Structure 1
Amino acid sequence: MSRLALVTAIASASQDEDLPLLHAACLELGLRAEIRAWDDPSVAWARYDAVLLRSPWDYTERFEEFADWCQRIDTLTRLLNPWSVLRWNTDKHYLADLAARGVPVVPTAFVEPDMDPLPALQEFLLAHADAEEFVVKPAISAGSRDTQRYARAQEFAAANHIARLLDEGRSAMLQPYLASVDRDGETALMHFNGAFSHSIRKGAMLQREDALNLRAVERINPREAGEDERAVALHALTATTARLDLEEPLLYARVDLIRDSEGRPQLLELELCEPSLFFAHDEGSADRFARVLRELLETTASP
């Protein structure tokens, strides 16, 4: 029987609400699925036929170590999603790739470590004169860590935030804060093996008074994605497949969308590495994903 590792981290195993539901669904289908931490040195990864990333949520704080681990696992067994996808998706510069391929992306400017923070911010604000608020975040991040929402009048505080990121050798990114987020939240669309599964609403997470380095509490509710949202999500996944020259659909993907001032869906993030898939908010979704995993293991099993 094929063996499947469901990968978390020692520090975050208890935080993953999806993991027990997926593990139970896999066992119900007869899959030999085991929960393992990527940073547990005692695990013999080559014994697994596939290694599925679920909640290695400390990777942004140990990125080089995590990247080395992913590359090693990719040579020992089948890493899901594969390392080529993870390498591209863990750095939000991928948004520029997708925008270049015609995907409607929330306007994004990147500030690199060799740039001056204040002039870069002022150029961004000049280009988005109608944006009353904006967001500063690192290009490599998880959740809302090191992410802050600012008013235009907080230019110098925001520049100091950018400077702290650049001093750490990290790229920063700037985006207008779209007012629709406070009203409508985000729509997250989950896809398994390239096919739409379910969607949820995430409430606004960033308040202007939020302190840095806090992971905001997500307010989640089921939501029926609109046809226009599903079309943008499919566009993003198709563009990703073309950009990475993939021969197979992505095993899992979460597409996070918000609407602009004219109500059009815009891509905020494309999560292909370790996204929450919100199984608890759509009955049967964990079972659907487990069936996709079983099919994958059956088609790749050794004779």
Structure 2
Amino acid sequence: MQMIVFATCAAEPALQESDRVLAAALGARGFAVAAAPWNGPQDAFVAADAVVIRSTWDYQKTPDAFADWLARLEGRPNVFNPPAMMRANMSKRYLLDLAGKGAPLPPTMAVEPDPDAIAAAMDALGLAEAVVKPEFGATASGLSVVRREDAAGLAAAAAKMAMPGLVQALVPEITTAGETSFIFAGRAFTHAVTKRPKSGDIRCQADHGGAAALADPPDWAVAEAHRLLAMVSGDPLYARIDAVTLDGEMRLMEVELIEPELFFTYSPDAAARLAGALLERLN
């Protein structure tokens, strides 16, 4: 029986609920699935027939170590997503590259963790209010919403970033329309989930009180998500496009290619499709 190892993290070494659905779908196809933290003992990865990066949700704390770990995996077969693709996706500056290819990104600039630099970026973008976030982050860690005239808020945001990052226009519709995650197996769309923040917040993650529900996005939105994924070079096994979907247009938030929550608890059939896509690659 072939062994597939799902990479997790030392902080949360067990499989997440959604990944247990995927593990069950792989088990139904004759695979064994085990979890092992990327920043723990490496024996499981060495012995695995395939490695799938899943809940490595602490990598942003030690991005250099994680990049080195991915580099060590690059020489072996059957690592998903491809390590080079994941390394390119680690820093949120990839969003600026996608904007250069025509992705509908909110006005965004790279910035150093300095209040004057944040203020200068807001001036350059013509923003009275902005989102500030570090280039390495997960579940909205290090994120702040700032106003240009609030010197104390700018200083606090710079300190919270603790590293270079991005200044980005706030998309206020996220508080009402929410953020929709378009999930792909390979480059085939499988399902979508809309996440909405709690009142008074813009963070949609469950960790911050957000709620999610299965979504039925219009055909144009699915087509636009396909277009955005096509801007990414390489061959992902899985991908998630996060966007705010407005009336006939979309604002890209993230292209998640490393360790996205794939929401298989909302769509077990999608887990079966990803399991099938993995089986095709292994064969």
TM-score (norm 1): 0.84
Partner of 2:181 in structure 1? 188
2:259 counterpart SS class: coil
Aligned residues of 1:148 and 1:206 also touching (Cα < 8 A):
no
Q: C-alpha displacement at 1:152, in angstroms?
A: 4.1
1:278 counterpart SS class: coil
Structure 1 residues 139 and 193: CA distance shift in structure 2, 3 A: same
- Are 1:292 and 2:281 an aligned pair? no
- Are 1:29 and 2:26 an aligned pair? no
Aligned residues of 2:193 and 2:212 also touching (Cα < 8 A):
yes
**Aligned partner letter, 1:178:** V
In structure 1, the gaps of 5 or more residues are: 299-303
Instruction: Give distance in 1, aligned partners of 2:111 and 2:63.
Output: 19
The partner residue of 2:132 within 132, 136, 139 is 136
Structure 1 residues 135 and 69: CA distance shift in structure 2, 3 A: same
**Aligned partner letter, 2:4:** L
> How well do the aligned residues superpose, as a CA RMSD in angstroms?
2.4
Q: Which has the higher contact order (CA 8 A, sep 6+)?
A: 1
The partner residue of 2:249 within 264, 272, 285 is 264
1:281 counterpart SS class: coil
Aligned residues of 1:8 and 1:57 also touching (Cα < 8 A):
yes
In structure 2, the gaps of 5 or more residues are: none
- Percent of matched pairs sharing the same residue: 30
Instruction: Give distance in 1, aligned partners of 2:201 and 2:21.
Output: 35
Structure 1 residues 5 and 39: CA distance shift in structure 2, 3 A: same
1:75 counterpart SS class: coil
**Cα deviations across residues 230-256 of structure 1 (Å, max 9, x unaligned)?**
122112111112xxxx3xx31100000
**Aligned partner letter, 1:293:** L
**Aligned partner letter, 1:90:** M
Partner of 2:261 in structure 1? 276
**Aligned partner letter, 1:276:** E
**Aligned partner letter, 1:126:** D
**Cα deviations across residues 65-103 of structure 1 (Å, max 9, x unaligned)?**
211111112223432111111111010110111111111
Instruction: Give distance in 2, aligned partners of 1:83 and 1:14.
Output: 22
The partner residue of 1:255 within 241, 252, 255 is 241
**Cα deviations across residues 119-165 of structure 1 (Å, max 9, x unaligned)?**
33233333444x55321110110111111223444343123422553
**Aligned partner letter, 2:29:** L
Partner of 2:164 in structure 1? 171
Instruction: Give distance in 2, aligned partners of 1:205 and 1:37.
Output: 31
2:131 counterpart SS class: strand
- Are 1:119 and 2:102 an aligned pair? no
- Are 1:157 and 2:158 an aligned pair? no
Q: How many residue pairs align between the two structures?
A: 281
Aligned residues of 1:45 and 1:77 also touching (Cα < 8 A):
no
Aligned residues of 2:107 and 2:125 also touching (Cα < 8 A):
no
Structure 1 residues 127 and 157: CA distance shift in structure 2, 3 A: same
Structure 1 residues 3 and 198: CA distance shift in structure 2, 3 A: same
**Aligned partner letter, 1:191:** F
Q: C-alpha displacement at 1:293, in angstroms?
A: 1.4
Instruction: Give distance in 2, aligned partners of 1:197 and 1:184.
Output: 21
Instruction: Give distance in 2, aligned partners of 1:155 and 1:269.
Output: 28
Instruction: Give distance in 1, aligned partners of 2:75 and 2:198.
Output: 38
Instruction: Give distance in 2, aligned partners of 1:292 and 1:104.
Output: 29
Aligned residues of 2:108 and 2:125 also touching (Cα < 8 A):
no
Aligned residues of 2:190 and 2:270 also touching (Cα < 8 A):
yes
Instruction: Give distance in 2, aligned partners of 1:111 and 1:42.
Output: 36
